[in-house]
Structures are given as C-alpha cells and as structure tokens.
Chain A
C-alpha cells in the first residue's frame, strides 16, 4: 500500500530523518574530524545499510511477534535506505570528486569495492522506482520477484563496506551477521512452507507467512 499518513507515520518519518539532521549539525559545527568528506561519506553509507537491514527485519519480526502493524512501514524504511544511498552516491560524485568525470571513471574502474556499491545502488534504485502502488499493480507477480533482490543489495552493500577497508573487519562482519541471519530466517520459512505444501498436497495451497507483499 502507499504511505498512510497518521501520527505514527509522521513520528517514524522524523525518526528516519534524524541521522540526516545529526549529520547536517555536525557539518555546521565542524564536528567531523580531520577528513570530513570521508566522514560524511561513511555516515551516509552506514545509514543506508542500517535502513536496508531494518527493512529486511520487518517480516521476520512480524512472523515471530504476530504483530502486523509494522508492515505498513516496510516500504517507507526501504525508501529511506534508498534516500541515504542516493545521498551517499551524490556525495561521492560531487562532494568528494567535485564532478570530475575522468577521475571518477578511473576510480570506479580500478576500485573493485565500488563495483559492489554500484550493484547495491542499482538494485535499490530499481526497487524505489517500482515502489508505488501503480508499479506494483503493473508488475503483478514479478514485483515480488524483483523486490526479493533486496537481499542481493544488502549482500553487495556489506561487501562494498568491507572490501574498502585496510583490514579491520569488525563492523562489516556485524552487518553481514545481521543480513545472513535475516536471510536464514527467510530460508527457514521457505523450507517450512515447502514441507507444509508437501504434506497438504493435493488438498490445499502452501501457507504463506508473508501476507503483506
């Protein structure tokens, strides 16, 4: 469904924008250390990845808690992941590289960690474009298939993160653990559905735990 405006919606929107306000405040007060451009870049990328993880976490949380209210906000969280990813990309192109396309081209060709970032962004971008209800209708069954790519986006984003580090892997491993955990949950649900489907053949249809897609 398209965004339903109510108090919770407003509160969550503001919550999702807080990291941006925090960043703008840090820029205004020169609180970003010796390499502020890189600090901005990392902060935006971090938040994009966090929102991706939050988006992915909603269905498992719903399944476990039987609390259905959250699914309304999955789309919004996904769009915020896209929002921060877009700022991250724009920052790379214009704040860090000042739009020097020659240098940007060489940088992308020579930096394999950026390839994974590009993959993640292309996926998130296509999911954002097909986010509206109208697109969902038009795509029909394919919509769900397309939007499963979010796992690839999350995986690529985590690789993008640790592939650019000199060595320390703690933070990206943390995200990787979350993504693997969330994906593992989906696989378990899928296996369970398949078993149920087998048991119920030929009488019924498989039970789907994902009702809101």
Chain B
C-alpha cells in the first residue's frame, strides 16, 4: 500500500528530529559567533537571543545584487536530476533523502584523510551568510543568501599535500531514495564535480549548509553543497559525501554527458554561448511579466575577484 505523504510536512519532520535539532543548534550557535567579514553581508546580530536562525537578509538591496529571491521560489525550482527531470517534482521527491548523520569522506592528497561527521566539520567553522547571484546554464538566475563557510577553511584543515591540483566532489549515491539513480537514467551516477585547487580555495567558494537563515532544504542540496558563484549552477554540486584532492583533473558528470556543451570550467560568460542557446541574458526568478531579462555579466558579476584566475586563458576554448 502506498501512503501519500502530505506535501506540507516540513523537511525537519522527515529528518530524524533529534539530529535535525542538534545540527540546527550547532549551526545557530556558530552563526551567533560569526564575525562580520568585509564584503560579505553580515547575519543579524543577537542570534543567541532569538529562538530562530537570524532573519534572512531583507529583500532590499543586498550588496548590489538587488533584492534576494523569495525563498519559496528558490525552494521550488531546483534541478536535481537524481530525483526528477522536472524542477517542481524534485522538491517533493527530495524529501525522501535521509540527511541525518551526514558523513563526508575526505581523501586523496591530504595529510588528514578520513570520514568526518558533518556536525564536526560545521562545529570547527564560522558560519556566515553569503548573498550570491546563482546563474543556471539554462539562462535563469536568482539571488540566494546561503549560510556556509569557505571551502578553503576545510581544505586548510585537512592539510593538502603539494601534489593537490584539483578538488573532486561526489554527491550521494542512494538509489533507494533517488528514482533516477535507481533506473540509471541519463547521467552517470553519482554526480561528480571538480574545481582547480586555486578555484577551490578562492574566498568566494563556499560550502553551504543553510540558506535564508535556516538549514538547507533537501531539494536545495542538504546536507552540504558547494556554491561557486561565478560558475554555472551545475558546478555547485549538492549533497556532497566525498571530497578528494587530486593531482589530475577528474571527469565531471555534465562534461562527460555532453563534452561540447558543458565544459570543465563553466564560468558564466555572456559572450560564449552554449552550442544550442545564447547566454547573453537571463530570466531572474521573481521578476514580473513584461520585465526585460537581465543582461548576464562575465563571471556572473564576480570578475573583479576571479578574473585573475583565468588571465592567460582563452575563455572560448576553456568554456
């Protein structure tokens, strides 16, 4: 017999509530102790006094990015092909993914390889709010206040060896809860992404465990996801279970699926179109009818911080 779950049950009820509460507490406490770094939108103060996570950044202008996208839109519009090729369906289906007791394996060219509890990782980090524009290769974008910490901090902590030139990320493989993995549909599962080491340790590159002042919803990549704001969204891998530092560039999922269409770099670039569609403009989620599309910026607007990483590269060739 199939028992239909009520859609309105929040993710927190589906996760083992105890574990969820515990993680929440840790994340909250860490947020409370967060410093206010320059250039990053601060979380509201006095979080300890509040029963909830800090208020999400208000919808006025946040760091020149314009208003943040309403959370409901972000929670119901997510490419998560492990669950469904339909964005709306993924939201409901993703609730099946167990995210309690999340463990991340760190290996490869590091001094301290091992299996780490997410709680342990988070308790060593200072969580902050990072408001980034997120630009999908499908030519839509949103402005999301992520809660996370720089990937560089984690890499530093596991002590990379000198041979570490690339960082490979692997998503969870759970055919039991992921229908498209079960039927081996379309992509080679599990989902894999990678960055060059200098991209990985760039201060803009973060691992996010939350958004909008709360724990990351499952459909948005819980328990832990990557966010690389100057690259197309498919680089920002969800539900990470493994991080490896490697000497050579690994094959990545979308690049393997269609090498001529999805490059390893996938830097946002309005003047390098996808072979089948333009990347010149983007539809901003939450904008009204008859509103012009936004003109896409090189490196998604983060050129000042990241252009030097690619200064001697032909961006048409290394798309």
Contact = CB atoms under 8 A, between A and B. Distances in A.
Contacts of B73: 34
Contact of A110 (B88, B280, B285): B280
A94 B275 CA distance: 25
B76 interface: yes
Contact of B276 (A33, A95, A100, A111): A111
B120 interface: no
Contact of B77 (A35, A107, A164, A170): A35
B85 A168 contact: yes
A97 B287 CA distance: 12
Q: Please classify the interface of chain B as helix (H, G, I), strand (E, B), loop, or mixed, using the class held by over half of its residues.
A: loop
Interface in B240-296: 257-258, 273, 275-281, 283, 285-286, 289-293, 295
Contacts of B72: 34
A136 B260 CA distance: 47
B277 A164 contact: yes
A96 B140 contact: no
Contacts of B283: 35, 37-38, 96
Contacts of A167: 186-187, 257-258
Contacts of A13: none
Size class of A's contact patch?
Answer: 20 to 34
A112 interface: yes
A99 B273 CA distance: 21
B138 interface: yes
A107 B280 contact: yes
Interface residues of B, number: 34
A113 B278 CA distance: 10
Nearest to A113: B276
Interface in B171-207: 186-187
A164 B280 contact: no
B280 A106 contact: yes
Interface string A95-123: 11110100100110111111000000000
Interface string A139-173: 00000000000000000000000011011101000
A34 B137 CA distance: 17
B277 A110 contact: yes
Interface string A3-36: 0000000000000000000000000000001111
B167 interface: no
A103 B295 contact: yes
A111 B138 CA distance: 12
Contact of B278 (A37, A96, A110, A170): A110
Interface of B: 72-74, 76-77, 79, 81, 85, 87-88, 137-138, 140, 186-187, 257-258, 273, 275-281, 283, 285-286, 289-293, 295
